[in-house]
Structure 1
């Protein structure tokens, strides 16, 4: 009897030991699993991106999507122009400086910051829909912005005074337009606006108005102009048949880390490049058939 009791107690202790071992194994796996999850989790925190209004819409939408997918992150996006974006990131005042221009084109020491090209944007002249002009020669465009042509009837439109709306100094859109559309000519003094959205609205509401915008701001309230018979389309930008375009740069002060790096990786992810970028009127980096360097040299890929 005593032997049977001892044997039974031995079995009870054995099962208890095995159960405890299994429990420890489960706990260990759970801990390992939680550790993996922590390693894969998105970083939290807050960053600020400032600069180009031509790319502001793209960065804002991407930031909104990213924050929706990654709780605990805040990405502040502000305009102010490419010049502001570049100066602020060089100062270390912001995490990302958005620019339509290479840093070198604004006289910024590019060795102090890191360039991240995230898209391409086409730009072109736009007019009030009532001026009666849809196609213009490049020299006529230059003559309009330099004040040599002052009435739309001189280029086949209605008898109406031309009203020029310029972008403010420091605007990347303005710098790109002056360099590539006006061959470096300096426009006459005229009304200046900081925001692409404001320019779009003013041109749509002002008789005789002309300005220039990124394709992403083209809509049916304004009339984009052909130049020398070439349509301002993304397809023509991709081949450089339409020559007024720029890279959308997101500059960082040194190599990006933490949330800044994650967001820049997200900007180049397939979900942004293949959907949001074209949906908003920009061109994915992989869509370009040519490259352009900071000096303006264009080469085929």
Structure 2
């Protein structure tokens, strides 16, 4: 017969240990508990050997005109260390006996005592002169039946002296006698200690809980990887991605991590996967029309990403904002330019400024390197920065043949090609998403009106070059499809970390996540 699995035993222990700790702390230990602490018990016998004008002061204390033989000082703290108030009727003493606590000092007699500190001023009424049950006789201090709320306390300071017939070197500890009805361990007053973290029994229980947790972890790893369940976002099948080259680095890294986490998922990426926002939407629309899904159903194996919203006329393509993408203007380092006003940018793209010396740069003709039509980066530049103004006519179809002796413009297909062209072309100006531009050598990012490409600048409404990165599906993908799983993956913590690592900001972290707009927009 098979025995009980170790995992079940550990699970039971993992539940029993914290329950036992809670029962101890809040029910058993939390009943009525009267405690005391000896916060000071010191003798003055060595003060005569001390240096200074006050040496031996304590030894010169007197009682009835005679010096004390061997004076000592004791400070006691009486406290309610339980979770229940203690009232006069709770003290274990006859009703006609006003004394609730007795403190004896073997080998010493009490010279004088005073209550020095009360946790609440109302407690002082219990120690007014003449209060029944309060006083000291020979070696015993008598304290009245004081009402103590939870965590309430008072302190007693006593001056003592050695009795003649006591010959020991050190005095025994004070003997405190008291009890409460219904208290822990018979209600006897106990000497307490200060635990900054937890009491000793609770610490043992917590240590046991840690051991149980370690054992559970070891058991889990010992079972091997075959029994580890995949995350809820995992789905099987093949997912085809297309669209924005600006968001391509995010999607490549996310696809790599997703397929590692979900072994039944495949996301093939080729050189033609990302050709721009509009070509990506065209690819998605064509795939949907070819598949001809039934009404109410969508494709579960395709996603397209666009820098900004689609154009009208494609109702089957459904948007889901994913991230806020920041873009930047980039120049060749030989231009001598680091900052342009919004007006200067518009005049450059309008052909009114054709040499960098006109904006306090070097004497070089402006060479505009742009993305092909259909690029989300280019569309965003025209809409957000250029106020929907068209770009200048292309002067050459091949950027490698630009005549750098005069101003010109050419177009390239993707962000990597644009950055390479700007870096290798004297006087060049282009546009890119921030993450790719930051990682590329040979180009310099340009501030607009003094603002770099940051979320803070977009939030303040001062930096204009940004756009919402939107994932498009053809219809509503099935909830268990790989397209739906990958979208959920991008929205969880791992996906958000990947998005941030490429200088984008997850929509869920913005003030307007449903619209995915910074607060200043």
TM-score bucket (shorter structure): 0.7 to 0.9
Q: Which runs of 5+ in 1 are unaligned?
A: 1-18, 23-33
TM-score w.r.t. the length of structure 2 is 0.48
- 1:282 positional shift: 0.8
Per-residue Cα deviation, 1:127-174 (whole angstroms, up to 9, x for no partner): 011101111111111111121111000010010011000110011110
CA contact (8 A) 1:86 1:108 kept: no
Structure 1 counterpart of 2:241, from 41, 46, 49: 49
CA contact (8 A) 2:239 2:482 kept: yes
Q: 2:357 is paired with a residue of what secondary structure?
A: helix
Alignment of 1:127-206 (within 5 A): 127-189=331-393, 190-206=409-425
Q: Which has the higher helix share?
A: 1
Counterpart for residue 482 of structure 2? 259
Counterpart for residue 10 of structure 1? none
Per-residue Cα deviation, 1:15-37 (whole angstroms, up to 9, x for no partner): xxxx59x9xxxxxxxxxxx9996
Q: In 2 relative to 1, CA 144–41 (structure 1 residues): closer, same or farther, beyond 3 Å?
A: closer
TM-score w.r.t. the length of structure 1 is 0.80
- Counterpart Cα distance in 2 of 1:231 and 1:113: 34
Q: In 2 relative to 1, CA 76–250 (structure 1 residues): closer, same or farther, beyond 3 Å?
A: farther
- 1:288 positional shift: 2.5
- Counterpart Cα distance in 1 of 2:231 and 2:418: 46
- Counterpart Cα distance in 2 of 1:74 and 1:226: 40
Counterpart for residue 107 of structure 1? 312
Structure 1 counterpart of 2:510, from 288, 292, 299: 288
Q: In 2 relative to 1, CA 40–289 (structure 1 residues): closer, same or farther, beyond 3 Å?
A: closer
Q: 1:186 is paired with a residue of what secondary structure?
A: coil
Larger radius of gyration: 2
Q: 2:369 is paired with a residue of what secondary structure?
A: strand
Counterpart for residue 279 of structure 1? 501
CA contact (8 A) 1:291 1:299 kept: no
- Counterpart Cα distance in 2 of 1:137 and 1:292: 31
Q: 1:210 is paired with a residue of what secondary structure?
A: strand
Counterpart for residue 329 of structure 2? 125
Alignment of 1:6-85 (within 5 A): 42-77=234-269, 78-85=273-280
- Counterpart Cα distance in 2 of 1:38 and 1:272: 16
Q: Find out whether 1:231 has 2:423 as its counterpart.
A: no
CA contact (8 A) 2:461 2:520 kept: no
- Counterpart Cα distance in 2 of 1:239 and 1:282: 17
Corresponding pairs, count? 268
- Counterpart Cα distance in 2 of 1:230 and 1:292: 26
- Counterpart Cα distance in 1 of 2:258 and 2:371: 30
Runs of 4+ more than 4 Å apart: 34-41, 290-294, 297-301
- 1:267 positional shift: 0.8
- 1:228 positional shift: 1.2
Q: Which runs of 5+ in 2 are unaligned?
A: 5-225, 289-300, 394-408
- 1:299 positional shift: 6.0
CA contact (8 A) 2:332 2:426 kept: yes
Q: In 2 relative to 1, CA 300–256 (structure 1 residues): closer, same or farther, beyond 3 Å?
A: farther
- 1:107 positional shift: 2.7
CA contact (8 A) 1:95 1:252 kept: yes
- 1:286 positional shift: 2.9
- Counterpart Cα distance in 1 of 2:361 and 2:230: 64
Counterpart for residue 437 of structure 2? 218
Q: In 2 relative to 1, CA 35–123 (structure 1 residues): closer, same or farther, beyond 3 Å?
A: closer
Q: 1:116 is paired with a residue of what secondary structure?
A: strand
